[in-house]
Chains A and B, each alone.
Chain A
Amino acid sequence: MPKFLPFLPRFFLRLFLVMVVWPLCTAATAAVRPDCSRPLTLGLHVHGLLYSSQTGTGIDKDISDALAQRSGCAITTTVLPRARIWQLIESGALDFSLSGISTPEREKFASFVWYFSNHYYLLVRQDSGVEKLPDFEARPQLQLGVIRSFRYGANANQWVDQLAAAGRISYASDLEPLYQVLLLGRIQGMIIEPFDMMDIQGTQVKDVTRVIAFDDPAIPHGLIMSKKSLSQAEQAKWRALVDELRQDGTVLRIFEKYFSPDLARSMVNF
């Protein structure tokens, strides 16, 4: 017996945790589960590793599944252009979307729960002669391809807005055609995120381009909730639920499916 004695306290501690604390925690979490009395809608958009219409998989899809599973709610997903998603979130016709970033305008109609953050990068053709960001601006013949309604960090936003005012932007509803016209040379640059890197790995795009980072800090991305369709109380419940998914490692596990462990950790822990 004396041999077991040193383990006894740990055993009782575990017993205490299992018998008392865990039920309390589940009771507490169960108490804040969102209202599932009506079917909820979630908009997905085709964007690199976030969602691929070809395979019907991606980070956003996994997060969406995790949300549905943890909340126990039926969540209908629809694949829509990003611009359309923002319109629907604003009108309240759509409850959720994912991987959204905040702007002052969006804060008016949407609230966010961050679960990862990342930097933005300019993918630019090597033959454009652009070595750093100001080079692109300084060459009026260079065109930038962006996804309509996308926003970025403060500096990148300002940079894109200046190009837009000069009529130097080509819009697209997803990245795929932009890669193609970048190869054609119809545009010379486009803005990408880490989850787009996989798209260009091993393609011709990678061979003819270089990547330049924007000098913005990592921008948090998260669950987008429509303020019109979800009450403050419901939003708080979903916020708690996402935080729970982060804390219990669910989010990290999803990201680790798509990125190296280091990158996944750096994106999720911010």
Chain B
Amino acid sequence: MKRPANWSQHLGAALLVLAASLGTTYWLWQHENQNALMDKRAQADFNLRAFLSRIEQRMLAHEQMLRGIQGLFAASEQPVTRRAFREYVAALRLGADFSGLEGVGWVPLVTPAERAAHVALQRQQGVPAYDIAPVAARPAWAPLSQLEPALASHAQSVGLDLFADAARQAAMLRARDSGMATITPKLTQLLETGAKVKAGFVMFLPVYRRGGVVDSLEARRANLIGWVVAPFNMEAWMASLYGEHAAGIDVRIFDGIEITQQAQLYDSGVPGAWPGQRSDEMLEYLNVAGRSWTLAVRSLGVSGAYASRDQSQIIARSGVILSVLLALLTWVMVSDRSRAMVLAMRMTSELRETKEHFELVFDTSPDAVMISRQADGRIIDVNPGFVAMTGYTRADVIGQALAGLAMWKTAEDRDSYLRELREHNGCENLEAMFARKDGTQLVGILSAQPANFKGVACFVGVMRDITARKVIENRMAHMAQHDPLTGLPNRALFDDRLHQAVTQAHRNRTRLALLYIDLDHFKPVNDTLGHATGDVLLKLAARRMQEHVRASDTVARIGGDEFVVLLPTVQDREDARSVAEKIREAMSEVFDLNGGHTAHISSSVGIAVYPDHAIDEIQLSKHADDAMYQAKQMGRDRVVFFGEFHPRRHAATMRVAPD
């Protein structure tokens, strides 16, 4: 396939469209990606907030539960007995909602002064082996005097001084000072239950003396009687809290703000090697019962419902496909348009050329061109050639019927033209006579062809002026049939006229006479005075002969000094003799030649009459010639009829002729 001249431009346009649409696709893809990322973040943030909310609520629930025990102490007018505590905790029915809660205990603040009474009371209330351990001397002890539910495994822990553990002591003192629930840092050993855990913490809530004022730090310190304690196993606590609802996020929880394995309280992900701090984790700091926990949150691979909202892949794929299609379409459209333009320009050019050609021909043709409507013959247009040829202006003829123009010389020509058009739907080389506007004659040869001009059925007529040619033709025809010297018909024309005359006479049963005339003594004139003078003599002789015949008669020169005269209608021989005699007399008169010369000649005339002497022109000519010869023999300057002096020969001829 041949490439169009500007194919590179077409390709450029297509590539431009491709680039623009790919660019738009890229922008949309980016935009969608950004949206998807923001959706993802928003979703992760939503999940995270829900998760945070659960932790806070769960922690508050625990605090509330401990406050219940705080209430037990506040409401009891008597010191709370072990039995009352046990029954109270049992009544709380701490089920699955409190999963991870390893027990609820009571830690009284025991000063050295109170120690003996405290130990005695516990022993008295059902723990015979009760004692505070370790027994190191302190300003005050915080023994775990009771932990419910009382399992066998807990027995070791009863009486354990929690102040001996620095972390617990700090938490307990903070609880005392603030009046709020506090938790310890991460623990791996729950002293309260004697169990090792992966991660755990202990919550303390201070209990103040019944009726004591606690609206200041000092008052709180002075009125503290102990703590409600609750150890927690973090893994179990998180399991019940988190369950399967942590959609879309992976959470690790750290005690404090350090991201270390030692500080890690919880990891929702698959257990594995310690990953350190991940770059894609968002950190959130949560205050839990007076302690900061750090949540490291990572968005997980998208779930189904979320993935369906990410349209970026679809946008990218369909965008690329559409871009390519658009570019192809552009290429097709641009190149098609270009091809159409080229074609249109070529056609326009051809059309213009054709028009120019037509106009050139129409305007410059010497022939007359007439365009007339077929329907009514009215002229639509004529060319300058017509104007030049006929003298009629365009204004004179446009709108007029061609047949109605005054320029037709004869009605016959006009009618034959109309007939040709009617019968043959056109005409060819119809010769016709016209009159120009100035009245001069014009011979034209006319052709007409049907055509469609601006949607109208027309005849396009072309007329050539053959007036001059006609003159030449006429002259040549004359020359072919006449003697150039005398202007008389020559033998050919004469033979033709003789034939016609014989036919006419035969038909009309009339007579005709044929005269053969030979000039006597012409040769001496020719020889002495020259051929030119001889020619003058011949011309004068011919003129005299014509002067003595009728217009219907024909005089012709058939040889050097031989002439013939045809009298197509004669009454009788005398009629012919009369003419012959006049000619003979005219010939015998003196001829004045140029140069002062004169000539005296005579003539010998032989006559043959139809049908008296012959009935065909050949015989008739021969007989006239014979008679002329006879006249010569008889001494010249006389008129002799055929057979006048040789009846026998005449008779014989008559007999033979029919044969």
Chain A interface (Cβ within 8 Å of chain B)? 46, 53-56, 79-81, 83-84, 87, 145, 148, 165, 167, 170-174, 176-178, 180-181, 184, 186
B523 within 8 A of A: no
Q: List 18 A-B contacts (CB under 8 A).
A: A53-B290, A56-B178, A56-B180, A56-B217, A80-B56, A83-B49, A83-B52, A84-B53, A170-B282, A171-B285, A173-B285, A174-B285, A174-B287, A177-B294, A180-B257, A181-B285, A184-B257, A186-B257
Contact of A173 among B41, B180, B283, B287 (CB under 8 A): B287
Q: Which residue of A lies closest to B57 (CB)?
A: A84
CA distance A63 to B221 in the complex (A): 25
Given contacts A181-B285, A186-B283, 7 further A-B contacts (CB under 8 A): A53-B178, A55-B178, A81-B56, A87-B53, A171-B284, A177-B287, A186-B257
Given A46-B287, A53-B178, A177-B294, A165:B38 Cβ within 8 A: yes
Residues of the B chain whose Cβ atoms lie less than 8 Å from the Cβ of A55: 177-178, 217
List chain A residues, Cβ under 8 A from B53: 84, 87
Closest to A167 in B: B41
A81 to chain B: which residues have CB within 8 Å? 56, 286-287
Proximity bits, B47-75, A CB within 8 Å = 1, else 0 = 00100110010000000000000000000
B179 part of interface (Cβ distance < 8 Å): yes
Name the A residues within 8 Å of B285 (CB-CB).
145, 170-174, 177-178, 181
Residues of chain A lying within 8 A (CB to CB) of residue B38: 165
In the complex, B223 has a CB within 8 A of chain A: no
**Cα–Cα distance between A181 and B294 once the two chains are bound (Å):** 10
CA–CA, A174 to B294, complex, Å?
A: 12
Contact across chains for A53 and B282 when beta carbons are under 8 A apart: no
Specify which chain B residues have a CB less than 8 angstroms from the CB of A148 in the assembled complex. Answer: 49, 52, 284
Q: Nearest B residue to A55 by beta-carbon distance?
A: B217
- Report A-chain residues with C-beta under 8 Å of the C-beta of B292: 172, 176-177, 180
- The answer to whether A56 touches B287, judged by C-beta atoms less than 8 angstroms apart, is no
Q: Which secondary structure dominates chain B's binding surface? A: mixed
Tell whether, in the assembled complex, residue B179 and residue A56 are in contact, meaning their CB atoms are under 8 Å apart: yes
Q: B174 at the A/B interface (Cβ < 8 Å)?
A: yes
Complex CA distance for A167 and B287, rounded to whole angstroms: 22
B174 touches A177 (CB 8 A): no
Give residues in B with beta carbon < 8 Å to A.
38, 41, 49, 52-53, 56, 174, 177-180, 217, 257, 282-287, 290, 292, 294
**Chain A residues within an 8 Å CB radius of B217:** 55-56
Chain A residues with CB below 8 A from B282, complex form? 167, 170
Report the Cα distance A186→B284, complex, angstroms.
Answer: 12
Give chain A residues whose Cβ lies under 8 Å from the Cβ of B174: 54
CA distance A231 to B286 in the complex (A): 34
Residue of A nearest to B292 (CB): A177
CB-based contact A177/B41 at 8 Å = no
Roughly how many angstroms separate A56 CA and B292 CA in the complex, as a whole number?
18
Report whether A181 and B283 are in contact in the complex, using a CB–CB cutoff of 8 Å: yes
CB–CB A170/B283 < 8 A: yes
The 4 closest A-B pairs by CB, nearest first: A177-B285, A172-B285, A177-B292, A173-B287
CA distance A176 to B53 in the complex (A): 19
Supposing A84-B53, A181-B257 touch, asked if A172 and B178 sit within 8 A by C-beta, the answer is no
Residues in A with CB closer than 8 Å to B178 are: 53-56
In the assembled complex, the Cα of A173 lies from the Cα of B293 at a distance in Å of: 10
- The one of A56, A172, A181 in contact with B286, judged by C-beta atoms closer than 8 angstroms, is A172
Interface pair A79/B294, CB less than 8 Å apart:
no
The answer for the CA separation of A186 and B256 in the assembled complex, in Å, is 14
Bound complex: CA of A176 vs CA of B292, how far in Å? 8
Cβ-defined contact, A170 with B287, below 8 A: no
Name the residue of chain B whose CB is nearest to the CB of A178. B285
In the bound complex, CA of A56 to CA of B78 (Å)? 29
Q: Closest residue of chain A to B37, judged by CB?
A: A167
Q: Is the CB of B180 within 8 A of A79?
A: yes
Q: Which residues of A contact B56 (CB under 8 A)?
A: 80-81, 84, 173
A165 contact set on B, CB distance < 8 A: 38
- Contact residues in A for B49 (Cβ distance below 8 Å): 83, 148
Which residues on A sit within 8 Å (CB–CB) of B177? Answer: 54-55
Which residue from chain B places its CB closest to the CB of A187 in the assembled complex? Answer: B283
List chain A residues, Cβ under 8 A from B179: 56
Q: Report the Cα distance A169→B287, complex, angstroms.
A: 17
In angstroms, Cα B294 to Cα A148, docked, is 14
| Contact in complex: B286, A173 (CB < 8 Å) | yes
Interface centre among A55, A80, A177 (most CB of B within 10 A): A177
B171 CB to nearest A CB, Å = 13
Interface centre among B52, B177, B287, B292 (most CB of A within 10 A): B287
Shortest distance from the beta carbon of B573 to any chain A beta carbon, whole Å: 147
**Which of A56, A176, A186 is most buried by chain B, counting CB atoms within 10 A of its CB?**
A56
**A180 to B257 alpha-carbon distance, docked (Å):** 7
Which residues from chain B contact A173 at a C-beta distance below 8 Å?
Answer: 52, 56, 285-287
Taken together as a complex, chains A and B put the C-alpha atoms of A189 and B282 apart, in Å, by: 16
Report the separation of the CA atoms of residues A181 and B177 in the bound assembly, to the nearest whole angstrom: 26
A55 to B290, CA, bound (A): 12
Q: Cα distance A167–B292 when bound, in Å?
A: 22
